[in-house]
Structure 1
């Protein structure tokens, strides 16, 4: 820094940020053109108000302090051939060269381990299925691996230590916190790519949800150029994931001030199984694997410690130490995590089907039936997303089905229109049909024909009807009408008993849709019966009772066409009207008066419908045709 605190040249401040110096240089160029375009912390740093030491007093990753200069080269450097071009490397590129050469002064060693990731894969699917329902983002493999690295480092804190020198003597730095550095790939405006390595401070103090949110925030701000300079400083342990590019394994360079850098490779099947079909791999029970390496400072960390560190990471990713239970609890996932189990393939080497395979097939059939019976118990029908419940009879593990069975074929007995399907596909369709935003309780119905009809309507489309845009607009219109009615009555007649429909407004577009279907099927009249709750809204927005009539009842205005009024309260009254559907077809709609709070409506409505049938010219044999058959 110059005497007034401003940077003399780029070299003096990029040296302080190690492998992140290219980003600092990029921000500095923007600062010179428009000081207001960079974040406040960077502005203060560039204009000399603060120094990197004031940003963070912890040892700085990539600092030039206490670095032994590399030995002079004793070999000739390559020379350009005829026709080659040369370009001087300066700024950030030159600093990367300096960092790499200085890293050669660190005596490192590397441990390797291969991890089966079947449990990691399947539990991630469960987590993201839960998060998708609540629009809470998506957990990546790196989130969970990074969390495992932090937890393993708590068991082996030596992996988080650092080597330094003081007065020419070696010093061991024992870190108070785990500051996990994340290697983030950044694409610059010119199309070139660089790595940025900010860190999550005190990662060991966070639960998984906080770790996940901090990780995502750090990545987002890094790519937007909004990262704070303090977030580069004090990295103690790093994680890099070249596996996203297909790299199988990697031995990255260890920067000054860190004890360990962990690298993960691609998640894929072992090479000898790549040519096999998915069905063959599933039948064999082969898991995808991931290579993981630990490159450590051998001056302060021994090979046994690194090996045990990787073993602990492997054990956690395989489900030990309640690793996934803790993650599920932190995110509120209402399920039991998949567990690592030995695989058994009934009758795999037999030409005939054995008892165990038949029994497993029967358990799949039992599970399908139980989702039809109990699926509504875990449906996400709470708009606040708080009904996160678990039911053991809806867990495949209850039926002795393991992760190895997920990609195997089973008979479905025509479930969802399939003759056979993998267990994964069966579970996915069961959850989407019975456990998402629509909860269906219908298996108590005595008529098997009616139950079959409902299943055939719901399961093939997973309870997601394919509505055209006009129908969707009509649904929205009826929802707005229902909501506005309740809001107006509540505001205008404060304190009046009205048995509102708030929270059940979807009843109005549902009834409106039923009227449309009935009219299209030539139904002449529908008789409705209902309790107090929501009756006024139905009278107005379905039966078509006028607003004047409803509001006059709130004002206690006597009906001039009756003697001294009706003598009944407004939420007991019935009505009849001829209404037109959105396709301009006319249908009669009546809602009977509520006889009394403690009397059932069914008998009254049955009698009314019977009278209507008898009073028409419809022959008795065709009375049932008044309503469309299921």
Structure 2
């Protein structure tokens, strides 16, 4: 089986950057204007780079006589609209490409009580040693990686053709390329999403995973990410819960088997204004919503449901999850 680290350079060279394609386009434009404006690593990458074409209007297959395919919807010219260029155009193309993936979504509500308690305990311990901190997302992401090992069918990619006949297939990945959606503010104040990838994420213990996670995020915010940091995701995680979103059904990009969403951690809506002492007396605790949006051609609902079940069990104290994290 191919590993994520073995194949990432080939993936990068193929131009398959998924949601990161907008950034590659921006850097390539800089390179064309002034090669010295990008790092030596990117100069080497762009030396033989060919930009992937963008298709913004979905098409249907042409008739059997070989006539060209026609757009599903004829483009309507509106000269009052503002053109989408650069990153915005690439994002629009990515969203259109995502329409080619037939998806379904599983949703699970999870008690966050033990997650809160163990995060506080770990950060108190770390404050006396390294001074670093762990976030809820560190724990949740690591539980998901554990879940992918228990339900490995989630870590797969649909393949258009496995032979000259065009027979579709599925590629099962030996290791997990774990994509992390990171919100990035550009110099002009606009925001874009980048998805760096932790290669072979399933080979780390909790401490190693947190280090790899933070190192990758530092690269992104410091503008140090290279081509290999942005390619090779087999699954991805997005956490709009950090801005209060309760539940999210994100778009799944071609080349990945699933994308997981994390909702806001908080009291159930009916109890948000209640006295915390009364809530404690009633045994009401904070909850969060996890979603799993998957490629339904290769992953079934039962598999996605079992995956979320295992993740929820980890976060609520089963499978020695927290014991391992503290080791």
**Where on the TM-score scale, by shorter chain, does this alignment land: which range?**
0.7 to 0.9
The equivalent of 2:155 in structure 1 is 160
Q: CA deviation at 1:33?
A: 5.5
Mapped partners of 2:72, 2:53: distance in 1: 23
Contact 2:59 2:72 in 1 (8 A): no
Mapped partners of 1:203, 1:211: distance in 2: 7
Mapped partners of 1:170, 1:22: distance in 2: 28
RMSD over equivalenced CA pairs, Å = 2.5
Q: How many corresponding residue pairs?
A: 301
Q: CA deviation at 1:46?
A: 2.0
The equivalent of 2:96 in structure 1 is 101
Q: 1:47 to 1:180 in 2, by over 3 A?
A: same
Q: CA deviation at 1:34?
A: 5.0
Q: CA deviation at 1:64?
A: 7.6
Structure with max Cα Rg: 1
Mapped partners of 2:277, 2:82: distance in 1: 53
Contact 1:25 1:91 in 2 (8 A): yes
Determine helix, strand or coil for the equivalent of 2:237. Answer: strand
Contact 1:178 1:204 in 2 (8 A): yes
The equivalent of 2:275 in structure 1 is 277
The equivalent of 2:185 in structure 1 is 187
Mapped partners of 2:59, 2:91: distance in 1: 15
Q: CA deviation at 1:98?
A: 1.6
Contact 2:248 2:262 in 1 (8 A): yes
Mapped partners of 2:101, 2:234: distance in 1: 15
Contact 1:178 1:201 in 2 (8 A): yes
Contact 1:14 1:92 in 2 (8 A): no
The equivalent of 1:222 in structure 2 is 220
The equivalent of 2:7 in structure 1 is none
Determine helix, strand or coil for the equivalent of 1:252. Answer: coil
Q: 1:133 to 1:224 in 2, by over 3 A?
A: same
Q: CA deviation at 1:73?
A: 5.4
Contact 2:265 2:287 in 1 (8 A): yes
The equivalent of 1:514 in structure 2 is none
Q: CA deviation at 1:76?
A: 7.2
Contact 1:184 1:197 in 2 (8 A): yes
The equivalent of 1:239 in structure 2 is 237
CA offsets, 1:161-191, max 9 Å, x none? 1111223111110111100000000000000
Q: 1:29 to 1:136 in 2, by over 3 A?
A: farther
Instruction: Spell out the pairing of 1:529-568 with structure 2 (5 A cutoff).
Output: none
CA offsets, 1:351-389, max 9 Å, x none? xxxxxxxxxxxxxxxxxxxxxxxxxxxxxxxxxxxxxxx
CA offsets, 1:226-261, max 9 Å, x none? 001012211101100011111100111111111110
Q: CA deviation at 1:14?
A: 10
Contact 2:180 2:237 in 1 (8 A): yes
Q: Which of 197, 201, 204 pairs up with 1:203?
A: 201
Mapped partners of 2:132, 2:139: distance in 1: 14
Q: 1:64 to 1:296 in 2, by over 3 A?
A: farther
The equivalent of 2:43 in structure 1 is 43
CA offsets, 1:458-484, max 9 Å, x none? xxxxxxxxxxxxxxxxxxxxxxxxxxx
Mapped partners of 1:106, 1:35: distance in 2: 36
Determine helix, strand or coil for the equivalent of 1:24. Answer: helix
Structure 1: 4+ residue segments shifted above 2 A: 13-18, 25-40, 68-80
Q: CA deviation at 1:130?
A: 1.0
The equivalent of 1:24 in structure 2 is 24
Q: CA deviation at 1:301?
A: 0.6
**TM-score (structure 1 length as normaliser):** 0.45
Determine helix, strand or coil for the equivalent of 2:320. Answer: helix
Contact 2:196 2:229 in 1 (8 A): yes
Instruction: Spell out the pairing of 1:365-444 with structure 2 (5 A cutoff).
Output: none
Contact 1:70 1:101 in 2 (8 A): no
The equivalent of 2:175 in structure 1 is 177
The equivalent of 2:114 in structure 1 is 119
The equivalent of 1:299 in structure 2 is 297
Determine helix, strand or coil for the equivalent of 1:195. Answer: strand
Residue 261 of structure 2 is aligned to residue 263 of structure 1:
yes
Q: 1:88 to 1:182 in 2, by over 3 A?
A: same
Q: CA deviation at 1:77?
A: 6.8
**TM-score (structure 2 length as normaliser):** 0.85
Mapped partners of 2:138, 2:172: distance in 1: 26
Determine helix, strand or coil for the equivalent of 1:219. Answer: helix
Mapped partners of 2:112, 2:76: distance in 1: 44
Q: CA deviation at 1:78?
A: 7.5
The equivalent of 2:3 in structure 1 is none
Residue 144 of structure 2 is aligned to residue 149 of structure 1:
yes
Q: 1:36 to 1:134 in 2, by over 3 A?
A: farther
The equivalent of 1:87 in structure 2 is 82
Determine helix, strand or coil for the equivalent of 1:321. Answer: coil
Q: Which of 311, 317, 320 pairs up with 1:319?
A: 317
Mapped partners of 2:110, 2:235: distance in 1: 21
Determine helix, strand or coil for the equivalent of 2:319. Answer: helix
Structure with more relative contact order (C-alpha pairs < 8 Å, separation 6 or more): 2
Mapped partners of 1:29, 1:187: distance in 2: 19
Mapped partners of 2:137, 2:76: distance in 1: 39
Mapped partners of 1:29, 1:143: distance in 2: 35
Determine helix, strand or coil for the equivalent of 2:42. Answer: helix
CA offsets, 1:379-403, max 9 Å, x none? xxxxxxxxxxxxxxxxxxxxxxxxx
